[in-house]
A = this chain, B = another copy of it.
Amino acid sequence: MLNPCTPDFLATLPAGTVRAPDARHLDEPRGRWTGQAGGVALPRSVDEVAQVVRACAAARVGIVPWGGGTGLVGGQVMPGGPAPLLLSLERMAGLRGAWAEESAMAVEAGMTLARVQAAAEGIGGMFPLTLASEGTATIGGNLATNAGGTHVLRYGNVRALCLGVEAVLADGSVHHGLTRLHKDNAGYALRDLLIGSEGTLGIITAATLRVVPRPAEVAVALLAVPSPAAALALLALAEGRLPGLVSAFELISGVGLGFLAETMPEVRVPLVAPWSVLVELGLPAALPAAAAMEGLAMAAAEAGLATDAVIAASGVQAAQFWAVREAIPLANRRIGAVSSHDISLPLSALPAFIDRADAAIAGIGAFRVNCFGHLGDGNLHYNVFPVAGRSRADHEGQREAVKTAVHDLVAAMGGSVAAEHGVGRLKVADLERYGDPAKLAAMRAIKAALDPLGILNPGAVLRQG
């Protein structure tokens, strides 16, 4: 059993590292939970992080690592149990190094993703992880949750962009793993294990990251497609014509565009259709963007995979197209979802999933479904809303049934109910219900081995033992 974080305990932490928690430390974006904390530690160095962790281990006080607070599954808030210590990395936000000639940099965990992107630009490249919350989310939180976003199709999740990590383990030892190697098979993939473990196996304090060359030419278009199946065929067409050069492929539902018209009429929508895709190509200088996108749009039209297309004629217009896609989550929030689902499926199962999920939801009641997102990764946000004139409160009693119907179907079709946001505290029971039993047993064994006292982010990912 853990002990609460008390004033007496706080007095044992390194001088100048402790504060009372602010509201931002205890709230989370979806407003589901309010966290609690005996205090917030704000260490200034990896040594201070290690001291804090050792103190927590000695006193058996739980630690909730805190990045930018933007997580959507409650990994950063602990609403019940003995009050934990929040450990914020916000004072460790420096650039440790940058190597333009090898397209790499080393950053501290508390740096916001936007500043990481700027640092990459500073050495003439690009850090391709792109998220709506990038101005607030930190790279440490991104790594802890193996963040995804809109450019995974081309560049992978953040795990694929990380060369090495420095991390404090549960006994206060420091893993000095800030290597800049593209091939290293010297032992188990501890880096990959820590990434995505949501602070339950160690606290990432810094990371070495890949920087990629910025494509000379970028083309963005919105294409109306007859169906999700046609959208997938269009993706295959694009990948076949331009292998490795399709940077983003996002599905947009007409329902989402309706939400925009309803709640954010100021957003200009250049193409309205029941289904459309936003396609981004990143091309070398030798391959002019306009011609490449026009060729793709024409081939798509000839194959019956696109019924309409608008191609951005400038960078400003490209940004407007992206603004449509990026406004959809905000419009969703204004409408108020009954239940939101961050799911992934095998690509070829997506069209059937959408049909079957729609039918299952319709069997529960009258809803509007906004199904959108990272089609190229098989990762959709399948979100269920009240019909016009009704509110989420009217469906309080159906929320669980909706979620279960969607998640059961995802699991039955070989998908994941925790695609890019992670498990946090929201999906612990889902993981128990849908997870592979042998994997769950292995996860519990790993957790017990690396954090035998259970002090690291108690109750996140795995139920506290």
A positions within 8 Å CB-CB of B = 99, 101-104, 145-146, 148, 152-154, 156-157, 159-160, 169, 173-177, 179-190, 192-193, 195-197, 201, 212-216, 232-233, 236, 239-245, 282, 284-287, 291-292, 295, 344-348, 374, 376-379, 414-423, 427, 430-431, 434-443, 445-446, 448-450, 461
Given contact pairs A152-B183, A186-B423, A244 touches B244 in the complex (Cβ within 8 A): yes
Q: Is the CB of B446 within 8 A of A175?
A: no
Task: Return chain B residues, CB-CB under 8 Å to A441.
Answer: 169, 173
Q: Is the CB of A286 within 8 A of B287?
A: yes
Task: Return chain B residues, CB-CB under 8 Å to A201.
Answer: 188
Task: Return chain B residues, CB-CB under 8 Å to A295.
Answer: 286
**Assembled-state Cα–Cα distance A345/B179 (Å):** 9
Given contact pairs A287-B284, A449-B448, A439 touches B175 in the complex (Cβ within 8 A): yes
Q: Is the CB of A344 within 8 A of B183?
A: yes
How many copies of this chain sit in the oligomeric assembly?
A: 2
Task: Return chain B residues, CB-CB under 8 Å to A437.
Answer: 173
Nearest opposing residue in chain B for A285, CB measure: B241
Q: Is the CB of B416 within 8 A of A184?
A: yes
User: Closest CB-CB distance, A262 to chain B, in whole Å?
Assistant: 29
Nearest opposing residue in chain B for A296, CB measure: B286
**Assembled-state Cα–Cα distance A208/B64 (Å):** 35
**Assembled-state Cα–Cα distance A461/B193 (Å):** 17
**Assembled-state Cα–Cα distance A154/B182 (Å):** 11
**Assembled-state Cα–Cα distance A46/B443 (Å):** 21
Q: Is the CB of B213 within 8 A of A243?
A: yes
Nearest opposing residue in chain B for A192, CB measure: B192
**Assembled-state Cα–Cα distance A41/B280 (Å):** 51
Task: Return chain B residues, CB-CB under 8 Å to A440.
Answer: 187
Task: Return chain B residues, CB-CB under 8 Å to A187.
Answer: 418, 423, 431, 435, 439-440, 443, 461
Given contact pairs A104-B346, A175-B442, A282-B243, A417 touches B186 in the complex (Cβ within 8 A): yes
Report 23 cross-chain contacts, Cβ distance below 8 Å, ordered by A residue. Answer: A101-B232, A102-B346, A102-B378, A148-B185, A159-B189, A169-B438, A175-B438, A176-B436, A177-B436, A180-B347, A181-B419, A183-B377, A184-B416, A185-B422, A186-B423, A187-B418, A187-B439, A187-B443, A188-B196, A189-B196, A241-B284, A242-B286, A445-B449
Q: Is the CB of B445 within 8 A of A146?
A: no
**Assembled-state Cα–Cα distance A434/B441 (Å):** 32
**Assembled-state Cα–Cα distance A347/B169 (Å):** 29
Q: Is the CB of A378 within 8 A of B438?
A: no
The contact of A179 among B416, B421, B423, B445, by CB within 8 Å, is: B416
**Assembled-state Cα–Cα distance A182/B348 (Å):** 12
Task: Return chain B residues, CB-CB under 8 Å to A430.
Answer: 186
Q: Is the CB of B190 within 8 A of A439?
A: yes
**Assembled-state Cα–Cα distance A414/B186 (Å):** 13
Q: Is the CB of B102 within 8 A of A146?
A: no
Task: Return chain B residues, CB-CB under 8 Å to A417.
Answer: 186
Task: Return chain B residues, CB-CB under 8 Å to A287.
Answer: 284, 286-287
Nearest opposing residue in chain B for A147, CB measure: B185
**Assembled-state Cα–Cα distance A434/B148 (Å):** 33
Q: Is the CB of A212 within 8 A of B243?
A: yes
Given contact pairs A284-B245, A346-B180, A416-B181, A442 touches B190 in the complex (Cβ within 8 A): yes
Task: Return chain B residues, CB-CB under 8 Å to A186.
Answer: 416-418, 423, 427, 430-431, 434-435
Given contact pairs A173-B441, A450-B445, A423 touches B185 in the complex (Cβ within 8 A): yes
**Assembled-state Cα–Cα distance A377/B59 (Å):** 45
**Assembled-state Cα–Cα distance A443/B159 (Å):** 19
The contact of A446 among B214, B286, B377, B449, by CB within 8 Å, is: B449
Q: Is the CB of A188 within 8 A of B193?
A: yes
Task: Return chain B residues, CB-CB under 8 Å to A243.
Answer: 212-216, 282, 284
Q: Is the CB of A450 within 8 A of B446?
A: yes
User: Closest CB-CB distance, A206 to chain B, in whole Å?
Assistant: 14
**Assembled-state Cα–Cα distance A236/B104 (Å):** 12
Task: Return chain B residues, CB-CB under 8 Å to A189.
Answer: 146, 159, 189, 192-193, 195-197
Task: Return chain B residues, CB-CB under 8 Å to A436.
Answer: 175-177
Task: Return chain B residues, CB-CB under 8 Å to A461.
Answer: 187-188
